[in-house]
Amino acid sequence: MITLIQYVLAVISGILVGFSLGLIGGGGSILAVPLFLYFVGLDTLPNAAHIAIGTTALAVGVNAYINSYMHMRKKNVAVKAGGLFAGIGVIGSLLGAYLGHITPGTSLLTYFAIAMIVLGVYMTVRKEPSKTGTLDESERISEAQKKCPKLTKSTAAKVSGFGFLVGLLSGYFGIGGGFLIVPSLMFSTGLCITRAVGTSLLSVGTFGVASGLEYAAYGESLLSIALLYVIGGVGGGYAGTSFAVKVPKKTLRIAYGIIIVLVGIYMLFRVGAI
């Protein structure tokens, strides 16, 4: 039984994650699972790990679809490449969700916490991508450069391979996977970072909704909590984006990476892995 307080905390969780996404971009949604478990209090439910991951997947997917619409209006989406990545990747995400469903809860949270630590370390040490394709830069490049790269057989094979693997991880852990999708699209298609980010949201949305609905079919996704999270995330994202221009991006990224590592360690402690 979900209480009124837990519904309110779900909205607050959405605000916090949305704010972090607005600040640093990809990777923010990975905090949703520990927030659902230990802040909203879903850890008291049977199959808590699966419910938290299933609910997160659905919430992240819906939120990504909302954001992808905004990018489409700005013509920042390569529809063919994004559609292929999402179409093949959804097979991987459904398989990943099934594998997550049959993984014991304690083991699943242990693997998730390790993934958090790896992502946190990656965020603190990685270099910023080239500025080519950022909003300011895209205004200066030629019309030829703005066109999507051709989807050749070789490119399609790369996109399909990356799509399946990223979808598998996304479905298993219930995360958006944008931090993996963006570089995968840039590498396999040659998209600039702006179009890769916009295009990635098609896949994040598809993987999240597909995985979340599969968990819901198993009775392991709370639709009302996911909806409230999305509502909070919209407001938090707007606030985070507004605040982001006032603080150096690198500083935010490093600080956030450290937070993710610490939360991952905390989760390992809670599940008894350390």
- Whether residue 194 contacts residue 134, with contact meaning beta carbons closer than 8 Å, is answered with yes
The dihedral built from the CA positions of residue 116, 205, 193 and 244, taken in this order, carries a sign that is negative
Q: How far is CA 98 from the centre of its chain?
A: 19
b/e string for 236-264 if b means 16 or more Cβ within 10 A? Answer: bbeebeeebeeeeeeebbbebbeebbebb
State the residue range of the domain holding 37. 4-270
Helix, strand, coil share (%) of the chain residues, nearest 5? 80, 0, 20
Q: Which has more confidence, 244 or 204?
A: 204
Domain count, the chain: 1
The dihedral built from the CA positions of residue 132, 181, 261 and 21, taken in this order, carries a sign that is positive
* pTM score of the predicted model: 0.83
Average model confidence (pLDDT) across the chain: 84
Longest CA–CA separation in the chain, Å: 57
**pLDDT, tens digit, for every residue of 32-64?**
899 999 999 999 999 999 999 999 999 988 888
Report pLDDT for 211. Answer: 95
Residue 137 has pLDDT above 60, yes or no: no
Residue 143 has pLDDT above 60, yes or no: no
Interatomic CA distance for residues 205 and 15, integer angstroms:
19
Size of the chain in residues: 274
- Nearest by Cα to 68 from 195, 236, 223: 195
